[in-house]
A and B are shown apart, each in its own frame.
Chain A
């Protein structure tokens, strides 16, 4: 069973601060996705990283995939109240019979106070 450890579970910060969320595993993933979810809604895909060492930027969000494709991080610069939500990482299992099944981290609940 592939596990994805996400940390921290909770993050409460002031507007303007920076933060980093981590996802770690002992297993290799073919790709890793980051999602953001609002209460009562489905997760929305933010980014997919595929190549080891890959870095992608989405405005104030920076995503990195580890060289060995076992870990990933999400860094938010100058957080805003609109960034508040549940952030989920998910790894796509490698292998021909994986059928795109994703292993999800437990999520990080981020609260940004004005």
Chain B
């Protein structure tokens, strides 16, 4: 069966510090991968998606970047965090172009 992991689970970082969030998927190959940010108790905003190694598409201009160095690894990064980067970050994978399956999320607080 397939599983998706995210770490860290929680992170508190000062403004201006770098960021690296990692997502890995097990039990499948060549998945479509997605990064979302979620405001408290609300809908999800798609940040990046990837259909293959090294292929990244950005949905919204922002202070973040993404990379896919391996087939089942998706990384969300920032060189300098802003206060507005705080939020709940979710990684998802999809075997098709319909449903997506989400990881447990990372709660990021920028102080």
The interface of chain A, by Cβ under 8 A from chain B, is 6, 30-31, 33, 35, 39-45, 48, 50, 86, 88, 90, 92, 98-102, 104-107, 109
Contacts and interface: CB of A to CB of B under 8 A. Distances in A.
Interface of B: 32, 34, 41-46, 49, 51, 57, 59, 90, 92, 94, 96-105, 107
A101 B65 CA distance: 18
B94 to A, nearest CB: 5
Contacts of B101: 45
A33 B44 CA distance: 13
Contacts, number: 68
B43 A106 contact: yes
Most buried by A among B42, B98, B102, B104: B98
B65 to A, nearest CB: 18
Contacts of A105: 43
Given A40-B105, A41-B105, A42-B105, A104 B43 contact: yes
B47 to A, nearest CB: 11
Contacts of B34: 101-102
Contact of A42 (B32, B42, B90): B90
Contacts of A107: 41-43
B77 to A, nearest CB: 20
A105 B101 CA distance: 17
A99 B49 contact: yes
A30 B98 contact: yes
